[in-house]
Amino acid sequence: MSNVFIAFQKNEDSRAIVNAILADNPGAIVSDQPAMVKIDVPHRLVVRRATVEEELGREFDLQEMQVHLITMSGNVDETDDEFSLTWNQ
């Protein structure tokens, strides 16, 4: 089964996003690299707005991720509440 992944610049906002991803995606593998953090998940990765808001302690629009995002792989599906990456295999 192929992994999907997402990578963020290392900063305070993305720390909360990464924590939210780890909470919502059991089996996620975190790889710390200079100035960036990459998270691999087998098959499907989800970012939930509610979990990010809990981690951040403020309201969060999922499109705000754009500011910290570096790269990702997988088919994107985005709604107001969830951003997901999947391979159809």
Binding site for other proteins (CB under 8 A): 2-5, 7, 9, 33-36, 59, 61, 63-64, 66-80, 87-89
**Distance separating alpha carbons of residues 35 and 13, to the nearest angstrom:** 14
Instruction: Give the nearer residue to other proteins in terms of CB position, either 48 or 68.
Output: 68
| Minimal distance, residue 4 CB to other proteins, in Å | 7
Instruction: Give the nearer residue to other proteins in terms of CB position, either 3 or 25.
Output: 3
Phi-psi region of 70 (alpha: psi -120 to 50; beta: other; left: phi over 0): alpha
CA 32 to chain centre: 14
